[in-house]
Amino acid sequence: MTWIELAPRHKQGLPIPSPVMPAAGTFGYGPEYRDLMAYKAADDAYLLGAIVTNPVSLKPRHAANTRRIEVRNEQMLVHTGLPNPGLKAILREHRNFWQRQGIPVIIHLIATNPYEVAKASGKLSRDDSIAGIELGLRSDISLREALDMLYAAQDGGEKPVIVRVPFENVDILAPALAEEGADCLTLTAPPRGLLPTEDNDAGEGTLYMRGRLYGPAMFPLLLQHLSTWCRALEIPVIACGGISSPADAQACLDLGAKAVQIDTQLWRDPGLLPRIAQALIDRQQEEEEFSSFET
């Protein structure tokens, strides 16, 4: 497949060799899935489009001290607190590994506050191992706050900025972020949900866990957003949410998404990434052959 440009308006651009990548929070910082990075198509093209890292903050963050995962059939709630050792430590530990891989690295930067976002963006601008930033916004963020985070990421550095838009606020945030200079949007960050936990005992009342919702049920909701916004926006869109098969990924691309991110399905089936990528390559080759035959 030809390389895909995720930041056509940016002076540096953000080309990726495949439209398939992991979602933030599912792939660690890369070494955990190093075997997947060795997969290549028959034409020696990379099957993985980019490494999208676990969420990173300027300063270290501790893990949540409550229940972190609740699974109910195909539904999963995750609440980790976004623990990480801080940007400086992550770059020091993983920079050399990223530089050896030959594929772009996109840092998922937690939008804590404009000052920290700008400072982190400045540090990333000076690091050649990083191709771009994906800015992660909290679910209840206002439009004003979201724009301030975007401006901070842009003013602080020179890397292309992707914004991962909260599921709950796509209709408000997506057009404004695109108009104000975001290079690309990820639709969407998973919504917040609530599930009763397995810790409930009779007579003690129901205990619940809050967290981000993952699972195949998110896929139809993702398609609804894509059908509304992919062609309405003048910047590329990355699809994320409940994608669990090559057919799901192709449906997203058919609606206008430039790339797809695979989320917690990777925990069950890491081989899903290369299978989806290979299927998309095969589909493209078939279409090109058919088009050549017609002409």
Judge if the upstream peptide bond of residue 188 is cis by omega within 30 degrees of 0: yes
Phi, psi for residue 110 in degrees, rounded to 5: -70, 125
pTM of the model: 0.93
Smallest CA-to-CA distance from 10 within 107, 137, 131 is with 131
Give the H/E segment covering residue 188. Answer: strand 184-189
Q: Could you give the CA distance from residue 202 to residue 289 in angstroms, rounded to a whole number?
A: 63
pLDDT digits (tens, 9 = 90+) for 21-70: 999 999 999 998 888 777 776 666 788 999 999 999 999 999 988 878 88
Over residues 249-277, the mean pLDDT reads 95
Predicted pLDDT of residue 240: 98
Q: Kindly list the strands in the beta sheet with 75-78, ordered across the sheet, starting from the edge strand earlier in the chain.
A: 69-72, 75-78, 208-214, 192-196
Backbone angles phi, psi at 286, to 5 degrees: -60, -40
In this prediction, what percent of the chain has a pLDDT beyond 90?
76
Average pLDDT, the chain: 91
Q: Which two tokens stand for residue 289?
A: 């052959």
Q: Which residue has the tokens 């979201």?
A: 146
Whether the per-residue pLDDT at 202 is higher than 60: the answer is no
Q: Residues with Cβ < 8 Å from 144, sequence gap 6 or more?
A: none
pLDDT digits (tens, 9 = 90+) for 242-262: 999 999 999 999 999 999 999
In the chain, what are the domains?
4-199+206-294 (3.20.20.70)
Quick one: pLDDT at residue 35? 82
